[in-house]
Structure 1
Amino acid sequence: MSTEVNGLPIHLLHDRVLVKLEGKPGERKSNGGIVIPATAAMGRRLAWATAVAVGPHVRSVEVGDRVLFDPDEKSEVELQGNDYVLMRERDVHAVAASRVESEGTGLYL
């Protein structure tokens, strides 16, 4: 599927998914609004991002979906001054979208 990211035409190949990270890198907030610094020791934590482009063989993710992935296994790319993450669909742990059915575990969970 071809799409544009900030005016730049992108054609992802195979099962690739291009996502934009949510929030600032390393910054997190607790439910009470307390900012947790990036240097705080924590276990392995997954991250949410928004899909901005998908390849032709991607079956479960659409542009605009929120995806859950492991930020330790990511490939970062900069396009026109903006940072994105490129991953394979199999590296997506979950998809959050209004079209997703509430029953079942989904293909990659």
Structure 2
Amino acid sequence: MPSPAAEPPPSIRLLGDRLLVRLDGEAAERRSSSGIVIPATAVVGRKLAWAHVAAVGQGVRQVGVGDRVLFDPDDRAEVELTGVVYVLLREKDVHGVARPEAQGEGTGLYL
């Protein structure tokens, strides 16, 4: 699957505070921080999802195209454009925006 940044933006103009996002690829199974394998069929409580922003409406103030956002996947509407499935959200439904990775910066702490 190509990366979301490599795909051309969809041909759509969003209105108001709407966002069009593409879900990050979900692995079939995950590993906990201690190394335990968690199968895809495991029931997890309310889990938020990450997605890449493909388009934004003119009323969106804090999120831009290309940002990676965190949202609740239970509150979503899906749409298919040119064979790609996107999720339509309102800006208020976004819980957070991932910080871009700092290039060449460390914490300054040595252990």
Q: TM-score range by the shorter chain?
A: 0.7 to 0.9
Residue equivalent to 2:39: 36
**Which structure: larger Rg?**
2
Residue equivalent to 2:92: 90
Which consecutive residues of structure 2, in runs of 5 or more, have no partner in the other structure?
1-7, 102-111
User: Using the alignment, how far apart are the partners of 1:72 and 1:21 within structure 2?
Assistant: 13
Seq. identity, % = 53
Spell out structure 1 runs of 4+ moving beyond 6 A: none
Q: How many residues align?
A: 92
Listed as ranges, the matches of 1:1-109 within 5 Å are 4-5=9-10, 9-24=11-26, 27-31=28-32, 32=35, 34=37, 36-37=39-40, 39-98=41-100
How far residue 53 of structure 1 moved from its aligned partner, in angstroms, is: 0.3
User: Which stretch has the larger CA shift, 39-48 or 64-73?
Assistant: 39-48
Shift in CA distance, 28/19, structure 1 to aligned 2, threshold 3 Å: farther
Give the letter for the 2:39 counterpart.
I
TM-score (norm 2): 0.73
Task: Check the 8 A contact 1:27/1:35 in 2, yes or no.
Answer: no
Shift in CA distance, 59/28, structure 1 to aligned 2, threshold 3 Å: farther
TM-score (norm 1): 0.74
In terms of fraction of residues, the more strand-rich structure is 1
CA RMSD of aligned residues (A): 2.2
